[in-house]
Chain A
Amino acid sequence: MDSLLLFFRKLALLFRREKFDSEMEEEMAFHHEQKEKALLADGVAPESAHYAAKRQFGNATQLKEQAQEVVSFRFETVLQDFRFAIRQLRKSPGFAFTAIGMLALGLCASIAIFAFVDAALIKPLPYRDPSRLVGVFESIPECPQCPLSYPDYLDWKRLNTVFSSLDVFQRNGFLLSTPEGAQTARGLRVSDGFLGTLGITPFLGRDFYPGEDLAAAQPAVLLSYAAWQQRYGGKQDVLGQTVILDGVPHTIIGVLPGKFQFAPARSAEFWATLHAPNSCEVRRSCHGLNGIGRLKDGVSIQTALADTKSIAAQLEIQYADSNRGQGAAVSPLIEVIVGDIRPILLVLLGGAGLLLLIACVNVTSLLLVRSEGRRREIAVRGALGASSTRLLRQFATEGLVLVAAGGSMGIVLAGWLMRFLTRLIPSDMLADMPYLQGLGFNLRVGIFAFSMAIFCMAIFSGVPTWPLSLSSLRGGLAEATRGSSGNSWRRLGSNLVVIEIAIAMVLLVGAGLLGKSLYRLLHINIGFRSDHLATLEIDAPDAVYGNDEPSMALERRVIREMAKLPGVQSVGVSYLGIPMDGNGNTTWFRIIGRPWHGEHNDTPQRNVSSSYFTTLQAKLVRGRYFNENEDTSKPNVAIVNQAFAKKYFSSDEDAIGKQLSFVPVATKPIEIVGVVEDIKEGPLDIATPPVLYFPLNQNPSDSFTVVARTSQSEASLLPAMVAAIHQIDGHIAVLNEVTMTDRINHSQTAYLHHSSAWLVGGFAAIALLLSAIGLYGVVAYSVSQRTRELGIRLALGAQPRMVYQLVMKEAGWLAAAGVAIGLACSIAAATLMRGLLFGVRSWDVSTLAAVAVVLGASALLASYVPARRAASLDPVEVLRSE
């Protein structure tokens, strides 16, 4: 009640503030007069009476302010401070724009990158209790996290004591029959409990029931929400309809939720069951299924790993021929999904953080220059009765205004930058990262932005008062403008510039190393000529082309038709993958004539046409290529790469003529007829493993990849190739039509290296600019402070050249100190990110030297202007103006 009354009284006074002030003034004046009269009556001299009255009264201004504070609301002084701060900033728009711009830049970069980090690494996966989900793998030395075979999966599921459920999935392209012909559609084959393990229930319809993943059950399929919307117009009556996948009618039993995402599924439209076992899944040695398990309560990853390992060991004994060397691996699902991009995101976040730091340091040194200029103002305000808390609050408010303006600009820019960066990601890569759909502002990003702003504010509001402790107020008043006021600032400012240059060095070295990695990556020997190659994959219906004869006829026809297209020089085809796609199809073999104890030589396999190597322009090292007439009627032959020859044969042994056999199911002897130079079959940054090539005609297939070399533009050839295939048969699906150059540049490895190099490079360029501005500011200010000293030097006969050297030397020292500190920090930083480097050591001397030169040159450039100004001072004018 009382406080309410108080509030209204204050409110009433708020609108009569002027009257309040004038009345207070009058009252105090009256008091003075009376006092003076009384003192005069006591016989005090008029002169001293006046001062005595004043003395006894106290500091009138301060008291008036105190009286005002009694009746005013707290926010009024805050508002006053704000108005004052804004007025101060408007008085120096150059400073305000620079400071706010730099802050906005730093905040924008770090907020945007943090949003990516949040979406990918921090936000929990959208499943029930996601921290209990793990990826489950079989493990061999060549492939530490490899898919399970179906019989192994069944045994693991039966024997384990650590998972409350264990399920598998496999990515699968379906041939979808539509009225317009065959299309390929992305799909997934899952075991019956897959959705239950994730903790997802369908948006419409039902989940698979137990046993629905067996061959005996009616084929059923779930639609993704997107497929339901796009292919079925979002109609409710979709349930129960039939869709023909790979020629088999499937009943649609449900629709997945719209927000459901599962990164490893990419953008799968059709979620079918395993309908196991297929031809691969009957074999314990055919590994195609990715495991996903939910840990039982209280079971740790280590326990789960130990349990699966013991099961694997048991199976190794039981099924020696197929399971020899097959271990187990368990890792958190989040690790499986985002493990690849975590280091890059963290490096980017670090880069953005450094950029923000450099922006803060720069603004801080600007503030220091200003606070030096305001030394007298502060001293005067202190003497006039501004309390120290009030002055501190004033500076805090100015910091707040800067950060608020910079921060809100930064947030707007960050939103824009996020959209921009997302748009830069190729759409098929974006499909692999569905978690980025949640990218944007949320509570965590908000808290991050807020704490960054608080961090900046803490720096800014503290700094201006630092060199001017209030005890030195009197000093400030006594000093003339040309005093030694610059000293404290120069020391602090110089330190700041050294920090700035060191940070810029770290960023530049990071960018340099990443750039060099990218260059090395794109210029490694890939073993073939990647230009002027057009590629596409085809998938023909098994019902028509499934047997060997029609498959072979199709392959020959495709090659013939492609060769007719204008500009095409040669055409080759490959089954089980072409360069760069890293298809993991491997086979086990033994070398005939050597002792064999059941070990598995696990080697990637490619089945290629006779024209394949000549089309790629791969280099034959020894022996010969396949002949067109080498089919199942001829002796089995193989070509190996150099890595294979090196691994399995000693240097004085010739691989040509040696014979191989598949294991565990023995085949006719396969003779090695040629050795080719290593072709980069997988990701660019991974050493090419030993590879076996077999003639396609001895293992015909109705789905394969076509590679065509053209003398003209390969991109413009692609549509003609697609049309020619459809001319052959409209039921053949064509997918992934892309040039080889794009395949390389858009491969995930190249793309991740590319984007991190460019982003860090961008940060580094801005950092370089900011540190040059910072150095310029320090040197220019130092010159302006020393104008008088330099003038005297010149007047006493110093050569302009010497003055010039004096200034440049100062800048040189700062730059050298910054580079030296930066060198140490960069090596440390580069060591932290060595996982991202390819073909470059973290202490790459040429990069470090180049960065030091660039920094040194820009430092000299930044100090050249003020140095020249110093050298061209007219001593007469300087001394006169002083």
Chain B
Amino acid sequence: MAKKSDLLPGTLDMLILRTLKRASQHGYGIALSIKHLSDDVLTVEEGSLYPALQRLLLRGWVKAEWKKTETNRRARFYTLTTAGRKQLGAELSQFEQMIAAIGRVLQDA
């Protein structure tokens, strides 16, 4: 299990937003998606999703509603908002810039 500190700071929020871009999900689903999409490389301490989700809710980047799952259980589903979509775009381009910059530094060396 990777510890929280193994993620780059601030990336958890971005990963959640990115996961939600495809479809609305509940918390457990988000955790699964991150795990699967990264081929099990990126795992988060699952519980830490929840404070992060509250942060995103408060910012208005996601919204939440209680719905039934396929197995007919009540769960809170999170959906990306327009503001969230914009935020994701901004964060992605920032992130890419940073990765590119780091890449250049590493190549030169």
Within 8 A of A (CB), among B27-62: 27-28, 31, 45-48, 50-51, 54-55, 58-60
Find B54's partner among A5, A56, A59, A67 (CB 8 Å cutoff): A67
Q: Would B46 and A70 count as touching, CB distance under 8 A?
A: no
- With A30-B26, A71-B58 as contacts: A63 and B47 at CB distance below 8 Å: yes
A59 close to B50 (CB less than 8 A) = no
Contact A35 B28 (CB under 8 A): yes
User: Is there an interface contact between B1 and A56, defined as CB atoms closer than 8 Å?
Assistant: yes
Q: How many interface residues does A have (CB within 8 Å)? A: 27
B58 touches A27 (CB 8 A): no
Main secondary structure, interface of B, reads helix
CB <8 Å contact, B28 and A63: no
The reply to whether the CB of A23 lies closer than 8 angstroms to some CB of chain B is yes
A35 to B1, CA, bound (A): 15
Q: How far is the CA of A562 from the CA of B69 in the complex (A)?
A: 116
Q: Are the C-beta atoms of B58 and A31 separated by less than 8 Å?
A: no
**Listed residue (B27, B47, B75) with the most chain A CB atoms within 10 angstroms of its CB:** B47
Contact string against B for A residues 37-49, beta-carbon threshold 8 Å, 1 for contact and 0 otherwise: 0000000000000
A104 to chain B, nearest CB (A): 43
Near B by CB (< 8 A), chain A positions 57-92 give: 57-60, 63-64, 66-67, 69-71
A71 touches B54 (CB 8 A): yes
* Alpha-carbon distance A66/B51, docked complex (angstroms): 6
Bound-state CA distance A10–B54 (Å) is 11
Interface flag for B22 (CB, 8 Å): no
Measured in the bound complex, the distance between the Cα atoms of B46 and A64 in whole Å is 13
Q: Does B76 contact A (CB under 8 A)?
A: yes
A853 contacts partner chain B, Cβ-Cβ < 8 Å = no
Write the B61-81 contact mask toward A (1 if CB under 8 angstroms, else 0): 000001000000111100000
Q: Is the CB of B27 within 8 A of A27?
A: yes
A447 at the interface (CB under 8 A from B): no
Is B28 a contact partner of A57 (Cβ separation < 8 A)? no
Given contacts A63-B47, A70-B51, contact A10 B58 (CB under 8 A): yes
With a CB–CB cut-off of 8 A, which chain A residues contact B51?
63, 66-67, 69-70
Q: With contacts A70-B54, A71-B54 known, is A63 near B48, CB below 8 A?
A: yes
Q: Give which listed residue, B58, B59, B74, contacts A26 with CB less than 8 A.
A: B74
Cβ B27 vs Cβ A60 within 8 A: no
CA distance A304 to B36 in the complex (A): 91
CB distance from A703 to the nearest CB of B (A): 89
Contacts of A30 in B (CB 8 A): 26-28, 73-76
Considering the chains assembled together, what is the distance between the CA atoms of A9 and B64 in angstroms?
A: 14
Q: Is A421 on the interface with B (CB-CB < 8 A)?
A: no
Q: Which residues of B contact A6 (CB under 8 A)?
A: 58-59
CB distance from B4 to the nearest CB of A (A): 9
List B contacts of A59 (CB < 8 A). 47
In the complex, chain A residues 183-241 whose Cβ is within 8 Å of any chain B Cβ: none
Min C-beta distance of B71 to chain A, whole Å:
9
Q: A69: nearest residue on chain B (CB-CB)?
A: B51
A531 to chain B, nearest CB (A): 85
**A27 engages B76 (CB within 8 Å):** yes
Q: Which residues on A sit within 8 Å (CB–CB) of B46?
A: 31, 35, 56-58
A28 at the interface (CB under 8 A from B): yes
Contact of A58 (CB < 8 Å), options: B45, B66, B76:
B45
**With the chains together, A69 CA to B26 CA distance in Å?**
21
Tell me the smallest distance from the CB of B41 to a CB of chain A, in Å: 16
Q: How far is the CA of A63 from the CA of B48 in the complex (A)?
A: 6
**Chain B: minimal CB distance from A813 (Å):** 52
Contact of B60 among A5, A27, A34, A60 (CB under 8 A): A5
Residues of B within 8 A of A56 (CB): 1, 45-46
> A9 CA to B48 CA in the complex, in Å?
21
Given A23-B76, A56-B1, A70-B54, are A34 and B28 also a contact pair (CB < 8 Å)?
Answer: yes
Contact yes or no, B47 A27, CB < 8 A: no
Contacting residues, chain A, for B28 (C-beta < 8 A)? 30-31, 34-35
How far is it, in angstroms, between the C-alpha of A449 and the C-alpha of B51 when the chains are bound? 42
Q: Let me know if A24 is at the binding interface, CB within 8 A.
A: yes
Q: Is the CB of B50 within 8 A of A67?
A: yes
Contacts of B75 in A (CB 8 A): 27, 30
User: Within B4-36, which residues are at the interface with A (CB < 8 Å)?
Assistant: 26-28, 31
By a CB distance below 8 angstroms, the chain B residues around A35 are 28, 46
Tell me the smallest distance from the CB of A1 to a CB of chain B, in Å: 12
* Interfacial chain B residues near A33, Cβ < 8 Å: 73
A residues near B26, Cβ cutoff 8 Å = 27, 30
Chain B contacts for A34, CB-based, 8 A: 28
Say how far B44's CB is from chain A's closest CB, in angstroms. Answer: 9
Which chain B residue lies CB-closest to A5?
Answer: B60
A33 to B75, CA, bound (A): 11
Check B50–A27 contact: CB distance below 8 A: yes
Q: Which B residues are in CB contact (< 8 Å) with A10?
A: 58
| A818-B48 Cα distance, complex, nearest whole Å | 55
Whether the pair A58, B48 counts as a contact (CB closer than 8 A) is: yes
A70–B55 contact, CB under 8 A? yes
- CB of B58 within 8 A of CB of A58, answer no
Q: How far is the CB of B9 from chain A (nearest CB, A)?
A: 16
Interface residues of A (CB under 8 A from B): 5-6, 9-10, 23-24, 26-28, 30-31, 33-35, 55-60, 63-64, 66-67, 69-71
- Apart from A30-B28, A30-B73, A64-B50: 4 A-B pairs, beta carbons within 8 A: A27-B26, A27-B50, A27-B75, A58-B47
Identify the B interface with A (CB < 8 A). 1, 26-28, 31, 45-48, 50-51, 54-55, 58-60, 66, 73-76
The 8 residue pairs across chains A and B that have the minimum distance between CB atoms: A58-B47, A66-B51, A63-B47, A67-B51, A34-B28, A57-B47, A58-B45, A70-B54
